[in-house]
Amino acid sequence: MARTASEMLSSVGRFFEICKAIVDEVKNQGGTDEDVSRILTDRKVRQDMVGLLLKKAKSAADGLVRLFVNYTRPLAEMLKDGRFDWINSDITEKNFPVNRRENGEVEMKVFTTQDLVGETRNVNSEEVIQSLKEKGYRPAELPESLAYAKANPDEQRKYPIVALGSVWRDFDGDRYVPFLYDGGGRDLDLHWYDDDWDERCRFLGVRK
């Protein structure tokens, strides 16, 4: 069936909206008119741009996020960037020394208990870590959890998000790990590693 004139005009209008959005974003990121023209004249630039767009769209559909993590920054600065309403006072660089990995983008995903063990139920830390490993992930460490919280500040208001990759053992020998949650605000607290996690919890994993 032939499209009506209004449908054709709507398609054309949508096309120009997309073009304008691309041009505006190039300018917002410090680009010039020459950079905009290069999209039209340089096929490699178009291929790279569309390839990145499709990759990010697929990642979003799979629940994946790519975030830059700076492992060389002091933990106190990372905590400040998180703009939390409350932070457990035991979350310090002494108790949670930062693992000095190479700075760069990492791919993360938040897993439910259904994702990990095939059912919605309470789980323990060991079975979560094993399930993550089987899926090609490792448990997120504190700097990665903080990067996620900064980029997605409202996610922890929906459910607790646990970072099992950073563990602190206190004077009594009890092990604790950090987790993001809503305790009347955006909070960063600690929970016993050896205790079960409620079925509402989510677990942040980093692709190996």
For residues 167 and 147, give the distance between their C-alpha atoms in angstroms, rounded to a whole number.
Answer: 18
For residues 201 and 112, give the distance between their C-alpha atoms in angstroms, rounded to a whole number.
Answer: 7
pLDDT at residue 27 tops 90:
no
* Stronger pLDDT, 59 or 25, i.e. the higher one: 25
At 146, is the pLDDT very low, low, confident or very high (cuts 50, 70, 90)? very high
Assess whether 164 and 99 both reside in one domain.
yes
Half-sphere exposure of residue 199: CA atoms within 13 angstroms, side-chain side: 7
Q: Is 181 helix (H, G, I), strand (E, B) or coil?
A: strand
Residue 162: name the closest of 115, 120, 198 by CA: 198
DSSP 103-147: PEEEEEEEE-HHHHHSSSS-B-HHHHHHHHHHTTEEEPPHHHHHH
Domain with residue 164: its CATH number is 3.10.100
Assess whether 53 and 123 both reside in one domain.
no
Assess whether 119 and 16 both reside in one domain.
no
Residue 119, pLDDT score: 96
| Residues facing residue 43 across a β-bridge | none
Domain endpoint, select from 40, 61, 82: 61
pLDDT, tens digit, 9 for 90 and up, residues 169-203: 999 999 999 999 999 999 999 999 999 999 999 99
Number of domains in the chain: 2
Residue 7, pLDDT score: 56
DSSP 57-77: HHHHHTTEEEEEE-TTS-HHH
**Is the CB of residue 132 less than 8 Å from the CB of residue 188?**
no
Given the structure tokens 């692709």, which residue do they identify? 207
Assess whether 19 and 86 both reside in one domain.
no
Residue 53, pLDDT score: 53
| Residues facing residue 161 across a β-bridge | 180, 202
pLDDT, tens digit, 9 for 90 and up, residues 42-76: 877 676 665 555 454 444 445 699 999 999 999 99
**Is the CB of residue 67 less than 8 Å from the CB of residue 106?**
yes
Q: Look over the chain and give the mean of its residue pLDDT values, rounded to a whole number.
A: 88
Assess whether 101 and 148 both reside in one domain.
yes
Assess whether 46 and 76 both reside in one domain.
no
42-56, 121-135, 144-158: lowest mean pLDDT where? 42-56
pLDDT at residue 10 tops 70:
no
**Is the CB of residue 123 less than 8 Å from the CB of residue 91?**
no
Using a 10 angstrom Cβ sphere, with 0-12 exposed, 13-18 middle and 19 or more buried, the burial of residue 64 is middle
Q: Is 37 helix (H, G, I), strand (E, B) or coil?
A: helix
The rounded percent of the chain whose pLDDT value lies above 70 is 83
Residue 23, pLDDT score: 76
Assess whether 114 and 169 both reside in one domain.
yes
* Residue 12 one-letter amino acid: V
Assess whether 37 and 69 both reside in one domain.
no
Assess whether 32 and 113 both reside in one domain.
no
Instruction: Domain of residue 68: give its range.
Output: 64-207
Assess whether 128 and 26 both reside in one domain.
no
pLDDT at residue 168 tops 60:
yes
Pairing of strands 137-139, 161-162: unpaired
Assess whether 166 and 76 both reside in one domain.
yes
At 11, is the pLDDT very low, low, confident or very high (cuts 50, 70, 90)? low
Assess whether 40 and 71 both reside in one domain.
no
pLDDT, tens digit, 9 for 90 and up, residues 81-97: 999 999 999 999 999 99
Residue 29, pLDDT score: 72
* Stronger pLDDT, 116 or 52, i.e. the higher one: 116
Given the structure tokens 């060389």, which residue do they identify? 72
Give pTM, 2 decimals: 0.72
Residue 3, pLDDT score: 60
Q: Is 131 helix (H, G, I), strand (E, B) or coil?
A: helix
Tokens at 125, concatenated: 């830390």
Domain endpoint, select from 61, 81, 96: 61
Domain endpoint, select from 38, 61, 84: 61
Residue 4, pLDDT score: 63
